[in-house]
Amino acid sequence: MYYNFYCNEKLLIDHFQESGEGNRMLKRLLAQSGLPPDKCADIYLQKMDNREGLYYDRFDVIQDFAERSTGVDSLTKLDKISVYKQDVDYIKGYIKDFHMTQRETMVLFGVIMMCRMMQTDTLDLTTKYKIQQFCSCFGKDITYKKEEMEHWYDDYHAPIGLRKVCDEYGALLRVPCEKGFGKVGCRYVYPGYGLEDKTILKQYIVTQNRNRLDLEYIFRDLGLDGVRFCGRCGREFKARSGRSKYCKNCVDDIRRKQTRNRVRKHRDARKNDVTQ
């Protein structure tokens, strides 16, 4: 799809025909490649999907690229994605303190990962395209909506869950964007961006087949799905259902105590029966 996010857009152009993406995507990538318009046109004509066998005038295509091209290479070219322990600890801290839902945890994780990949402490989700691109990195659970504020002119669009992550939990700083054509979203600043601990938990190598960013896969692979903190002993555990509040040790302990109480009550009741 047009708004799929690729870690290495250069690699995507090289293997474009195997990617299943459409001509619109190819055109956007080439316009951002920094290549001269005639080069862009040649690659476009060579790699585009022309199943209908239409005739394209090379000169027209060059003209089109002359108008679109930015002249500078702004393609994303990541060869690996690194996950830092510091970032995962940051996320877990908020799960512990605010009992974030899975969806909230996922969007927070997404913003932090994007900041690392783009090497900036601020993620720009100001346009619908960028918001859609962000959501496309997850399964269909992550969508976006219009957030209604007290004043209509403060309304904005954002991935569902991100509002709470920012405005209630304070895990990210939300910066409303300047009003303008197509500007419907916000920017998000990650306060934990400065790396004090460079420990890397895991690295994912970007290949042709694993070029499209799948943040949900990484989220689950890191074991972040279902991470909870026990409401009794505070220890981290993995929830098997959406409702579990306590770790297994505490659940067993609570059950044992309940049984003991039940037995005692039963015994007391029988004792009373005998004495009466």
Q: Write out the residues near Zn ion by the rule CB under 5 A.
A: 230, 232-233, 247, 250
Cβ distance to Zn ion smaller for residue 120 or 249: 249
Name 117's Cβ contacts closer than 8 Å, sequence gap at least 6: 7, 76, 78, 81, 213
Cβ distance to Zn ion smaller for residue 175 or 233: 233
Distance between CA atoms of residues 104 and 98, nearest Å = 11
* φ/ψ of residue 174, rounded to 5: -95, 125
Strand-pairing partners, residue 10, are none
* Nearest approach, Cβ of residue 243 and Zn ion (Å): 15
* Tokens encoding 185: 């979203």
Cβ distance to Zn ion smaller for residue 177 or 239: 239
**Token pair 């960028």 in the structure block, residue:** 130
Cβ distance to Zn ion smaller for residue 233 or 263: 233
Cβ distance to Zn ion smaller for residue 122 or 244: 244
* Nearest approach, Cβ of residue 105 and Zn ion (Å): 20
Please say whether the beta carbons of 186 and 126 come within 8 A.
yes
Please say whether the beta carbons of 172 and 190 come within 8 A.
yes
The CA radius of gyration of the chain, in Å to the nearest whole number, is 26
